[in-house]
Chain A
Amino acid sequence: MRYLPHTEDDINSMLDAVGAEHMDDLFSMIPAGCKMEGSLDLPEAMTEWELNTFMDGLSVKMATSPSYKIFVGAGSYNHYIPESISYLLGRSEFSTAYTPYQPEISQGTLQAIYEYQTLVTRLLGMEVANASMYDGASALAEALLMAIRITKRRRVAISRLIHPYFRDAIRTYLTPGNYEIVELPYLENGRTDITGVADMENLAAVAIQSPNFLGCMEDLSSVEKPVHETGALFVLSFTEPLAYGLFKNPGCQGADIACGEAQSFGIPQSFGGPCLGMFSCRMKHVRNMPGRLVGKTTDVDGRPGFVLTLATREQHIRREKATSNICTNNSLCALASAMYMASVGGTGIRELASLNRDKAEYLKRGLRDAGLKIPFASPTFNEFVVEFGKGFKDTYAALFKKRIVAGIPLAGWYPELSGHYLLCVTETTGREDMDALIEEVQS
């Protein structure tokens, strides 16, 4: 799709047609106090050479892989991205500013989204997936709104081990509607304590994250029954979908909605965005699912084709009565993750997941042997918590100078976990780097 700007003549003839003298007249309804006077407060323009020097100067100040050894995940993960993905993603058919949805001209894009949806349902073991959402946090907040619509109830219970940023997003979404949010505590083994839900009335949803923010795999199969007994929907969130290459998927463990962040699948970390919200649910709830959905159909001549489905429930048609305020998707990122899943393949995802788990176990064991405490006993995937102790701050700073980032301190989000750090290991982490970290922290 080409963008063709108007000429000065075009603009003048359009202004004539609507009876306006200047472009500014079209914005006269905006109060004067809300308009910015003058020009933007920006420095003088640089030459290309100057700009490159300036940007190089900024980038050396950042602690980025591979010059730093970074043992941090916490919602954003460093994985190898096959070279084929950046090549395919850069094709002009895909990298437009807007996703063309018209079936007459966009069969390729629509099929790509359809393939993405299919791969998501296979990975998560769910029946239907949408065309993607902005990120894992907004996907989870939309999942709770969806449960509220379906059950016509007003209270949700969310695990305290859901990513703190995700819980912030939930509060942003739900508070204006006066929905009640209850946080579920966690147990000594690093899993969510769901015993309290049995006594909670009027529950629309119970949301659990697995692997959770402490890196522990939740025991989803034992969560399902008590949740469904309350009449609530079981919402499963995740920040690391690669875990489902190894662990049982949410679908076979009774989740009604499974959604989360899928940056792990072929999308660079790049300062935390753009991200990818994966969203899937049971087919019986499809009419309450937010976002766009591509379906497969046949045209008048019986040829297969792809088309937006259930669009009549969306905002551009149903206005304020739409299922959700989301009327778009994150197509390019969804495409990257579809390419990633297809490139790595079913066996590859399993192998890669094993590699992540095995490497993380190697570091975990090494740290434990070095005398450090691993406080939570539940199985983990590629992240786990270490108790370095309260005096670790100085060591942490010293390691940082040696270009090692020894995890992320948890006390800011969990005051009771001071001296506890969340560490992450992926397939990109070398054995020497792990050995170096172990040696540094025991000395």
Chain B
Amino acid sequence: MQVEKFYYDNKIVKAFGYATVIFGIVGMLAGLWAAIQIYAPAASLHFAPTTFGRIRPLHTNAIIFAFVGNCIFTGVYYSLQRLCKARMFSDRLSWIHFWGWQLIIASAAITLLLGFTTGKEYAELEWPIDIAITLVWVVFGINMFGTIIKRREKHLYVAIWFYIATWVTVAMLHIVNSFEIPVTFFKSYSWYAGVQDALVQWWYGHNAVAFFLTTPILGLMYYFLPKAANRPVYSYRLSIIHFWSLIFIYIWAGPHHLLYTALPDWAQSLGTVFSLMLIFPSWGGMLNGLFTLRGAWDKVREDPVLKFMVVAITCYGMATLEGPLLSLKNVNAIAHFSDWIIAHVHVGGLGWNGFMAFAMLYYLVPKMWNTPLYSKKLATNHFWLGTIGIILYAVPLYWAGFTQSIMWKTFTPEGQLKFQFLETVTNIIPMYVTRSIGGGIYLIGALLMVYNLVKTIAKGQFVANEAAEAAPIAREALAHKESWHRKIERKPVTMLVLSLIVVGIGGILEMVPTFLVKSNVPTIASVKPYTPLELQGRDIYVREGCYTCHSQMVRPFRDEVARYGEYSKAGEFVYDHPFQWGSKRTGPDLARVGGKYPDSWHYNHMDDPTSMSPGSVMPSYPWLLDNALDTTTTAAKIRAMQKLGVPYPEGFDKIANTELSAQAASITASLKKDKIETPPDKEIIALIAYLQRIGKDIKLEQNNTQTASK
């Protein structure tokens, strides 16, 4: 057979690698800043773009899509070429992909800080960026499948399966969750409302973890771990079972983010069952990784790359054991809305994703620059700093989450709640401080890596095009009879379709019933659409990222009903585009805040939270008192809502601003009674209108039934 000579493209790998490092540092800095703000609210600088509500989405998006995203592309562009024994399909597409992705990241950073957000976690980016993501993702797909099709290796190695499943599922998740109606260039409303929006969002959110932070990294594990240990994976059989069962089961597990909420019970149970089953493929993968090192543990002592991988895979195992446990309703009742979840995701993020990325970079840079690593010792120090950082980060937060949750649920013998919400927060501030120290140490470790890699690069010689040779796939080899799975496994497109079917089944079964069956969302007659002023106020609530610290979901627990009021019903959220249930209570739940305090309380509280609740860790929002409300968008917003099925009367968009002014005037008057003078056109007025409305409709309902029964 004629052997063909060709070159691997290392330049694109280098570019993605640099981006991984840069955005990793940026994302961690944003995280550290956000962590410090929790106990030192003044660190928000009293400046809108740097408050927690905007820095936190910046942190999550930067880590997920910029750091881990670029890490995935680095690894895929390196390993795919070698596993296929072919250069990437098109250099031009590679570079369009690279610059397109970096452009998306840059625009994401700017828009998030400016407050342009859809208000759906990890999918905050507004619609023009959503479209750009879709296009760039398609470019990546064409490039990847093109490479697979022109490959010189007959078989598709299991890592490639994980890449294919990642590509197809992320495409599906992104498109389904991003259905939104544009209002202006930077503002859109989610197509779905309330319960349905929540279900779609957490189907997306959970599977963003599954198919962006897990499957591609598992693919990298199946390539880089055997490379670094210089031995094949422990069991290839297990890797096949791992693959199919993981992608099938993962897609169902989303509703475990919504246990005890207003989501229909059957959907919650479905999420629990599949989350429990998920332990098997997850641990299958972990054991497959760790067993690969059997008899090679002496190498782990020597090689920083393997050290990072061992801890990464262990963290993967810990996080995926914890995940199913957290999906049990009784555990979830304690953990949900608390810092426990933050600890859980960071074991995954810092341990699994971070350490896999570091391991890969320590492996790739010496390879591509054709020189040994500048300092093994420094890398080992990085490893220890990182490991200690993870422990110092996670342990205090587990403690904090558990303590706070138990405090929330404590009653006095007389049957009163024992602790004010604020007491439960100030009690765990030392944990928050320790956590940020842990994060800081982890970041210092990452900086050591940057130094180490820069030094390595300086002394090496970059191999931009790495020569390789391989024979093309022999035609006659295809002719003889083969088993069906082998056939599938050699055909990337069949593989793509099959993975889509497998993940599609889960998605459809999980979500479609809530859209179809009316009894899943019982309507409540007294629930009315928001007034124009409230709608504008709600958009300010979304813009400032209030949902990053406040939930709007009273669960049916004794303590929550005692603390906040009547538990939340599915029918209350039918006009909420997007839903704002939140996922974390750094501040108290707001589902029943309407009418709880006078207007003036909210006014003063937004200006300086400590003036109303001493010791509060909420940032202050002085700009809301000065900024004039933009009412030019009101009509467009009303029309968009009408299109989504919100029953505003015909032609309401034309009179909406008149109604808005009238309501604003009445709030201004009520403020004046409490000696606060403010013009009625300020943003704070709209926000107060919204806050005073939340959760009130159902109180009306109760009043009505009481009157009726009298």
Q: Do A and B come from the same complex? A: no
Please report B residues at the A interface, Cβ cutoff 8 Å.
none
